[in-house]
Amino acid sequence: MDFKTIDDVDLSGKRVFVRCDLNVPLEQEAANKYSVADDTRVRASVPTIKKLLAQGCTPLVASHLGRPKGERNLAFSLRPVASVLEKLLEAKVHFAEDCVGAPVGAALSEANPGEAVLLENTRFYAGETENDPAFAADLARPADAYVNDAFGTCHRKHASTYGAAELLNPAVAGYLVTEEVGYFLKLLRDPARPLIFVLGGAKLSTKLGVIKNALDNVDKFIVGGAMAYTFLKADGEPVGESMVEDDFVSEAKAILDDAGPKLFLPRDHVVAKAVDDPGSATTVDTRDISIGYMGVDIGPATACIFADEVKGAATIFWNGPMGVFEVEEFAGGTRVVGQAIADAEGETIAGGGDTVYAINKLGIAEKLDHISTGGGASLKLLEKGTLPCLEVLDRT
């Protein structure tokens, strides 16, 4: 890694703009009253903020939450996060009613060194996602330095992740970003072998770049989920009503030709007339998927084959479930493959929202070496070898 981290600079006593990923799920308790339903992402931000507090800094913690589309909406307010963050930090957290302007100044005037300020949702302003220079300047104005600890947003050039970093010096990475990037660069540059990518989920299009970039580096690709049906159609197999991205069939065919026997596709399938009709489910071989039925999970024989392949891996990267995991009748493939990944002796790295959901439902999180906080960012890093918001940080 050629960017500087929080340990490379002295931030003692400074006001530090800290971009975290506090995009947590909220649950409504009453009218205009919400609480944090899952504090995983808040916990992930704690080590960096604690480091700053220990140096006598005043962290200005910034984040987005949801998609309020540039408008103030209490359903997306970060206020409920303040009390959770305060408890985890064991330090006072002052909540600013806005992320720019007078409310930030008011919160800062109340904060003593060693206390934090949590800013309101940056996406209450359209200038955030547009990386508007004026909005970025407003965000940066109260701060002396910048720390990016929001790995899940590092692939997006937004005002709080990119524009503000351009304006503040020093601009460095926090502990979460440093850890995440370290794991994925090791996958690209120096993995223990054999290296296996287990890829699933709905869309091949989101993973095409990763597969192309990793073709020469990965020893085996195991492909399940709906994305498998674009490959199967490219291979001339019947897919019935299964989800297929027709615009990417030709690219899927090129990957099949280049990958050869290192790319594993399902041999049997759980199919149904519709996702919401589990009673119609049956198991068929690939060549027997008929019109009127769609693939909703890998079949049991495929699940066993995939699990056996995973057992021999020294390094595993997992992104995407093997089927419609949310429906119990279609969760078998993900359960078998996920458990095999958890039981594997090699290093295991997983990422992606649906993957994390499956991991938590299976109860295997503690058996994996690393669960990424950024599905899209991790895929983009594996595709490009870097991310825009890493490029704007100070270099070593």
Which stretches does DSSP call E strand in the chain?
A: 15-20, 26-30, 33-36, 58-62, 93-95, 116-118, 145-149, 171-173, 195-199, 220-223, 263-264, 268-272, 282-285, 294-298, 315-319, 347-350, 370-371
123-161 per-residue burial string, b: 16 or more CB within 10 A, e: under 16: bbbebbbebbeebbbbbbebbbbbbbbbbbbbbbbbbbb
Please state, in angstroms and rounded to a whole number, the distance separating the CA atoms of residues 58 and 86.
Answer: 14
Residue type, 33: K
The residue written with tokens 């991991």 in the block is 359
| Selected catalytic residue, list 203, 267, 273, 384 | 203
Please state, in angstroms and rounded to a whole number, the distance separating the CA atoms of residues 233 and 126.
Answer: 41
Residue type, 208: L
| Selected catalytic residue, list 312, 353, 363, 385 | 353
| Selected catalytic residue, list 14, 15, 19, 41 | 41
203 is catalytic: yes
395 is catalytic: no
Please state, in angstroms and rounded to a whole number, the distance separating the CA atoms of residues 193 and 173.
Answer: 29
Residues 6+ apart with CB under 8 A from 134: 127
Residue type, 41: R
Long-range contacts of residues 246-249, Cβ cutoff 8 Å, at least 24 apart: 247/205, 248/204, 248/205, 248/208
376 is catalytic: yes
Report the catalytic residues. 41, 203, 353, 376
